[in-house]
Amino acid sequence: MEKFVIEGGRPLKGEIKVSGSKNATLPILAATLLTDSVCEIRNVPKLRDTWTMCKLLRALGKTVDISGNQVTVSGSANTHVADYKLVSTMRGSFCVLGPLLAKLGKAKVSMPGGCVIGVRPIDLHLKGILALGAKANFEAGNVMATASRLRGAQMYLGGTFGSSVLATANVMMAASLADGQTIIESAACEPEIEELGNFLSDMGVKIEGQGTPRIVINGVKKLNGTSYKIGSDRIEAGTFLLMAVAAKGDIVVKDACYNHLLALIDKLHYVGVEVRKDGSDIRVRCKRTLRPANVVTHPHPGFPTDLQAQYMALMAITPGVSIITDRVFPDRFMHIAELNRMGAQIRRDIGSAIVEGVKHLYGAPVMASDLRASAALVIAGLVARGKTEIYRIYHLDRGYENLDQKLVQLGAKVSREKE
């Protein structure tokens, strides 16, 4: 395995280009199971998670060709069984359930894995496909679903912690080949769902409302192939904004969507950061001492849970007290212990973290627990005094393309070494 070694205390300066969206790429790749025609997906980020999804498609019988940041998928799925070894490593792979069920009439998908960030049930996935007329049960750690023919239905997909992105995606894909009209109420509004809707529309699905709480899908008999470009990764863009602020930097994040980051940018303005939009670029400058601000995460367009850990790292060096509450994943606080190893003063209180800002963090060996927690540790390492060693960076490689190289480009001293 590999580790990051970071020498802290260097301001970030320059320009950085955001990669394609991981969270949009995964369901879009899964959607290629709905057709036997050729689909070209461009601007695909080179990540462990995208390669895992490509391996899963191949295991299901599809032909997958990778050239740079383009993935071409063709051929037919010849099995309905999604293997445990692949699905268990990445929760996003569970979104093959809907397209397999719609295309083959049956699906056997292992219970999903991924980052350890708390309980992540699949009840809304099952609620959606059952509403479409499928039958489902559990067998030896797998979801077994069958349907002689899916039929459109109206359904409510709200859950205890709001809407579910992957459940919405699964139902959208299953409904694409269902008879009649499907209406999803309390659908996830994340930009990644809007992208999936646009991709399905390009394939010939009659769909409207993607990106809103009410999605209407009129199923079709057959889907076409298409060529589609993935949009930029809003979480990567937000992570770079927070890195620049923490390191008192001045950077331009290129190919970023300002509108996708309004909740974060609003909070940055409040704490005293200068953020400007210039077309598809975002410039962030931070020279002053910031003030603390509380954050509560919510489904989009609220503050993203995927930026909670990175924001906590910023508040850890901001004078005063801030309270960070995660309403999406209330147990997503495994990064607290590692930040405290570096000198942070953070304590857990049920579904919140109370952060007392300190003057300095100090380099230390720390362990990454999940994807976004890893990014928080990188932020801490960038501003810490001395050397920080971050272990288990395979978590980072799941969601950030060439992060070490991009940081070096901005002036950071970061190296990737063997453990």
Tell whether the torsion through CA atoms of 118, 80, 124 and 236 is positive or negative: positive
Residue 68's region, left for phi above 0, alpha for psi from -120 to 50, else beta, is left
Contacts of 46-52 with CB under 8 Å at 24 or more apart are 46/19, 46/401, 46/402, 47/22, 47/397, 47/398, 47/399, 47/400, 47/401, 48/394, 48/397, 48/398, 49/22, 49/90, 49/92, 49/398, 49/399, 50/22, 50/25, 50/26, 52/86, 52/89, 52/90, 52/93
d(CA 419, CA 405): 18
Neighbouring residues of 121: CB distance < 8 A, sequence distance ≥ 6: none
**Catalytic residue chosen out of the listed positions 54, 115, 257, 286:** 115
Question: What's the Rg (C-alpha) of the chain?
Answer: 21
* Residue found under tokens 């499928």: 134
Is 115 among the residues known to form the active site? yes
CA distances 176 to 98, 99, 183, 227, 365, Å, are 10, 9, 12, 18, 49
Q: What is the 3-state secondary structure (H, E, C) of 141-171?
A: CEEEEECCCCECCEEECCECCECCHHHHHHH
Catalytic residue positions, numbered: 115
